[in-house]
Amino acid sequence: MSGSHPGRREILRLSAASLALAAAGCDEPTEFGQPLYAPPRGEVQDAATYATVLDLQGLGRGMLVRTRAGHAVKVDGNALHPASLGATDVFAEAAVLSLHDPARARRLREGGWTRAPAALDATLAAARAELAARNGAGLHVVTGPIASPTTARLLATLLAAWPGARWQQYDPLAEDAALAGAELAFGTPVATWPDLARAQVVLALGADPLGPGPAQLHLARNWALARAEGRGRGVLPSLIVAEASPTLSGAKADRHILLHPREIEPFGRAVAAALGVPGLQGAASHPEAEAVAAALRRAGPAAVMLAGRAEAPGLHALAHAVNAALGSEVVHHAAPALARPAPMGPAALRPLVQAMANGAATHVLLLGVNPVYDVPAELGFAPALARVPFSLHAGLYPDETARLCTWQVPLSHELESWGDSRAFDGTAAIRQPATRPLVGAARTVDELLAALLGAEERALPLVQATWREAWGAAFEEGWRAALEAGVIPGSAAPRLHLPLRPGWDPGPARQSQAGLVAVFTPDPCTLDGRFAENAWLQELPRPLTKIAWGNAVLLAPSTAAEYGMSAGDEVVIERAGRRVLAPVWPVPWHAPGCITLPLGGGRIASTEVGLGRGLDAQILRDPDTPWTGEHVTMAPTGRHARVIASQLERDFDGPAAARIVAPGEGFAPPAPAPSLYPDWKYEGHAWGMAIDLDTCIGCNACVVACQSENNIPVVGPEQMAMGRRMHWLRVDIYRHGVSAIFQPVPCMHCEKAPCEVVCPVNATVHDHEGLNVMVYPRCIGTRTCSNNCPYKVRRFNWYDYARDETPVKVRNPDVPIRPRGVMEKCTYCQHRIAAARSEARMEDRPIRDGEVETACQRACPTRAIVFGDVNDPDTAVARAKRAERNYALLGELDTRPRTTYLARVQAGR
């Protein structure tokens, strides 16, 4: 037992965190989904949906929050919101877990002592008096990027009242170079994004339009639209990605060019030179540049060039120049949604650190940021902060920064508070709480700023004041409409058409020519560590590395071979006298000669979920070039370190599993295998699913959506390492040349289900609509079904993952939690089918196409997953399955899966 046993206590704690419910922290013993408990007043509302908005890097994504009996259960996308278009990303899906996390900051503390809420108001009043006397001098407010009109209004009021006060935005993932590039190109910082729906050729230089970010859902959806249209025409749009460190865009690239970080700018210049872009200062050459330039030229206005956040401002300017030269109609410029588009990367904190160090900063407010962890160590933020007499931190968790501040204020979660926000394109939306506040002492940033100003201090009136000002007499109507739709129509920033400045090119950036280069990237699940406390995201295998519960130094297999290392070997990485220890992890899509250090690991978090979990790349980061580290050395230590991965590189080859066809090509329908038995007929509905591998970008949203919808427990790193993950839906990845194919694998619901026949107790059987149902209470746990499942989609409750010693509480009351010793698996969201059936039956009508959406389907930003009745030829899923590139996974086994795949389409095959 010693081998697996110590994990158990950890499991219990982790599942406590992931399964503890709303009630944790509330005073009342409200039991979830208890139908006998009616609210004291008013109509009983079983289920309700609220439109709200969740921020990522300060920019909003409109979401719908489903509640049951007053508790937030699930986050879905808001189709009306441009940054969601009905889809969700992993961060939005996982928000509901953070909301309910019992480890959230719950108490107002001063120097570690719990204080009553009034104490904070008194302290802020005292600070106000002190600061007012010197016009605010000494006050430094640090926030994340602010696009919220209300927060911006409050900050503007504050700065107007106290000219001496300073406001600094800070975001470890800031794209300062893009702003600087826009300044070079147009003389003004504009926001730029491509309208991928219209793009025929996209050249991404280190850019990751399909990767995580505030516009991911929008970009991915439009990319998928263009691709669908291209498939129809037989001419695929071409995504050309030149990059060093693998991204989702690179994985989906039609042409993936692996470049050393130092080669990216020269490559861009070579393409620009080949296109004859005017004003180019320094040209370069690259063997592939001519062909890429030709493709861009051919597409003309339907082409676009994008530069990534790690590239120098010059390359961003060059991209603008290329787009201008091409006459690109794809590229979209608009006024930035952010209230103050200014540098907000680590380097921007230098003045503050100086002020803190020399005593000029007397009052430092750190609102919703965690600079003690995520500012590069070189900057010396933490020691400087320790010298500040009054420092206040507001955060969701008692994090590293909170521990160094004199005041610690719990921050309200977005799902329990009022606010407003703007999307990447400037579209505004009102944030409304989907649940009553779960942390009584928590405040929003707006409330804190208002308290500092001595003004009205509840969030709702603050937000209303902003919009009353904007709408005047039409306020009531506008407010109601905005809450209902989750978006304020017509608030998007207008498209700008800006002329290129003549002297846009500062010339080639100076680059050293020797030494190992480290590329810093946000972790796909925890980003810069801000989501490190979220167990769903920690346990989520990263799309391209399949690493969960941590990170590793990523490099090309050839680089690993050069150093004589294989996966899991520990290295010491050193830069500027600072060093970290970490295992290496070869990734086939990585450029040789450089390494990738993912951010977000090694946190000294307050919970077991986030504590440690990989290397802390911030130690090595250079604040001035935060995305590339020069003069890095790497040396093997000879030790081996554990890396938890759900799929290993040796298993990345599966040509039969993830298939590829040329445009217009397809597969012959499989010949029916001879069978001893007659087939069953499925009259009425026959549920089925089609998953389009061509549009799946591997973003993992479906996996977290499934976890959230189906109360899938978190098993923790120990169990994960043993191979006991519980995700009903997994995303397999397969190598295909230098690109990758993602294959989401839920239960296939085989018509000739091999799992069912071997169950001795009828615990897994078919229903009349073709669902392979798993009857948990009947399962005795022989696990034979899992053995006989060729897709290995069945999950077993080795321990009582879903329960704690405390009374069990379920997040989604429609889905039962599974006890120890039973098998579980994807149900096609059977509870949603049943709900639709009941609904339809009561209204005496058949179930409509699209009425039943599985959680994964609902989440998918590219709509790669289609679900519905395959018996009805007019449904979307039936149409998808009629496509020639439709095939069954392991079709040769003749299990007749109801889930089928649409092969990836690739030109030139």
Partner 1 sequence: MPQIFSPRADGRFRLTLLLLVAGLLGAALLAYALARSDRAWAIGQPAPQPIPFSHALHAGNIGLDCRYCHAQVERSGNAGMPSAALCLGCHQQVWMGASILAPLHDSIELGDPIAWASVHRLPGHARFHHGVHVQAGVDCATCHGAVQTMPRTVKVHSMSMGWCLECHRAAAAMVPTANRAPDELGPLGLWHGGVELPPLTRCSTCHR
Partner 2 sequence: MTQPAGMIAEFADAEEMLAALRAARKAGWRRLDAYAPYPVPEAAELLAVRGWPVAAITVAAGLAGAVLQYGTQYYLNVVDYPINVGGRPLHAWPVFLPATYIVAVLWAAIAALVGMLVLNRLPRLHHPVFAAPGFDRASEDRFFLCLFVDEPGFDAAHAEHLLRGFDALRISPVPAA
Partner 3 sequence: MSGADMPRAAEEREVADTAPVARIPLQRFGATYWIALSASAAGVVLLGVTVATLLRFGTGVWGTNVPHVWGFDLINYVWWIGIANAASLLAVVLVLRRHGLRTAVNRFAEAAALAAVVAAGLYPILHLGRPWLFFWVFPYPATYQVWPQFRSTLIWDFWGITAHVLVTGLFWYIGLIPDLATMRDRAARQGRLVVARLYGVFALGWRGSVCHWSRHQAAYRLVAALLLPLLLAAQTVVALEFATTLVPDWHQARLPLHVVVTGLPSGLGLVLALAAMLRRTLGLHAFIDAGDMDLLSRLTAAASLASLWIYAEGLLFGLVLEDAVAREAMLVRVTGTYAAYYWAGLLLTAILPQLLWSRRIGLSTATAVPLGLCAAAGAWFDRYSIVVAGIERTNLPVARPLYVPSDAEWMLLLGTGGLFVLLLLLFARLVPVVSMYETRHEEAESEAA
Contacts with partner 2, residue ranges (CB under 8 A) = 676-680, 750-757, 759, 762, 765-768, 896
754 interacts with partner 3 by CB under 8 A: yes
12 interacts with partner 3 by CB under 8 A: no
Give residue 247's identity as a one-letter amino acid code. T
Chosen from partner 1, partner 3, partner 2, none, partner binding at 37 (C-beta under 5 to 8 Å by type): partner 1
SS3 of residue 821 by DSSP: coil
Residues of this chain that interact with partner 1 (CB under 8 A) are 28-30, 35-42, 44, 46, 678, 680-681, 683-685, 765, 767-769, 771, 773, 775-777, 810, 814-817, 827, 830-831, 833-835, 838, 841-842, 844, 846
Between 781 and 846, name the residue whose CB sits nearer to partner 3. 781
Give the distance, in angstroms, between the CA of residue 855 and the centroid of all CA atoms in the same chain: 16
Between 185 and 726, name the residue whose CB sits nearer to partner 3. 726
Between 82 and 770, name the residue whose CB sits nearer to partner 1. 770
Between 433 and 770, name the residue whose CB sits nearer to partner 2. 770
Between 15 and 78, name the residue whose CB sits nearer to partner 1. 15
**Least distance from partner 2 to the Cβ atom of residue 752, Å:** 4
174 interacts with partner 3 by CB under 8 A: no
Burial class (CB within 10 angstroms; exposed 0-12, middle 13-18, buried 19+) of 210: buried
The stretch among 169-177, 236-244, 586-594, 887-895 that binds partner 3 (CB under 8 A) is 887-895
Burial class (CB within 10 angstroms; exposed 0-12, middle 13-18, buried 19+) of 309: buried
Whether 836 and 792 have beta carbons less than 8 Å apart is answered as no
Would the CA dihedral through 305, 306, 311, 314 be positive or negative? positive
**Assign residue 207 a region: left if phi > 0, alpha if psi is -120 to 50, beta otherwise?**
beta
Whether 434 and 67 have beta carbons less than 8 Å apart is answered as yes
Whether 721 and 642 have beta carbons less than 8 Å apart is answered as yes
Position among 5, 41, 510, 681 found at the interface with partner 3 (CB under 8 A): 5
The stretch among 270-278, 514-522, 880-888, 890-898 that binds partner 3 (CB under 8 A) is 890-898
Between 358 and 787, name the residue whose CB sits nearer to partner 2. 787
822 interacts with partner 3 by CB under 8 A: yes
**Tokens 């405390």 identify what position?**
806
The stretch among 238-246, 278-286, 403-411, 819-827 that binds partner 3 (CB under 8 A) is 819-827
791 interacts with partner 3 by CB under 8 A: yes
**Least distance from partner 3 to the Cβ atom of residue 654, Å:** 5
**Least distance from partner 1 to the Cβ atom of residue 95, Å:** 25
Chosen from partner 3, partner 1, partner 2, none, partner binding at 721 (C-beta under 5 to 8 Å by type): partner 3
**Tokens 């508070």 identify what position?**
417
891 interacts with partner 3 by CB under 8 A: no
188 interacts with partner 3 by CB under 8 A: no
What residues form DSSP beta bridges with 392? Answer: 365, 407
Contacts of 586 (CB under 8 A, 6+ apart): 554, 555, 556, 557, 559, 560, 566, 567, 649
**Least distance from partner 1 to the Cβ atom of residue 43, Å:** 8
816 interacts with partner 3 by CB under 8 A: no
Instruction: Give the number of other CB atoms < 10 A from CB of residue 137.
Output: 16
Q: Checking DSSP bridges between strand 238-243 and strand 255-258, what pairing results, if any?
A: parallel
d(CA 544, CA 733): 7
**Least distance from partner 2 to the Cβ atom of residue 794, Å:** 14
Structure tokens at 63: 């979401």
773 interacts with partner 3 by CB under 8 A: no
760 interacts with partner 3 by CB under 8 A: yes
Structure tokens at 405: 């501040």
Structure tokens at 344: 């907000």
Q: Checking DSSP bridges between strand 390-395 and strand 407-410, what pairing results, if any?
A: parallel
| 611, 733, 740, 852 from 653: Cα distances, Å | 34, 9, 10, 34
Chosen from partner 1, partner 2, partner 3, none, partner binding at 751 (C-beta under 5 to 8 Å by type): partner 2
| Per-residue exposure over 598-624, b if at least 16 CB sit within 10 Å of its own CB, e if not | bbbbbbebbbbbbebbbbbbbbbbbbe
d(CA 765, CA 656): 28
Count of positions (residues) in the chain = 909
761 interacts with partner 3 by CB under 8 A: yes
**Least distance from partner 3 to the Cβ atom of residue 601, Å:** 22
Binding-site size, partner 3 (CB under 8 A): 62
Chosen from partner 1, partner 2, partner 3, none, partner binding at 753 (C-beta under 5 to 8 Å by type): partner 2
**Least distance from partner 2 to the Cβ atom of residue 750, Å:** 8
648 interacts with partner 3 by CB under 8 A: yes
Burial class (CB within 10 angstroms; exposed 0-12, middle 13-18, buried 19+) of 2: exposed
**Least distance from partner 3 to the Cβ atom of residue 585, Å:** 15
Tell me the chain's radius of gyration from C-alpha atoms. Answer: 27
Between 227 and 832, name the residue whose CB sits nearer to partner 1. 832
CA angle 460, 406, 615 (to 5 degrees): 95
Instruction: Give the number of other CB atoms < 10 A from CB of residue 908.
Output: 8
Q: Which residues are at the interface with partner 3 (CB under 8 A)?
A: 1-5, 8, 645-648, 651-654, 657, 719, 721-725, 732, 745, 754, 756-762, 765, 778-784, 786-792, 794-800, 819-823, 889-890, 893, 895
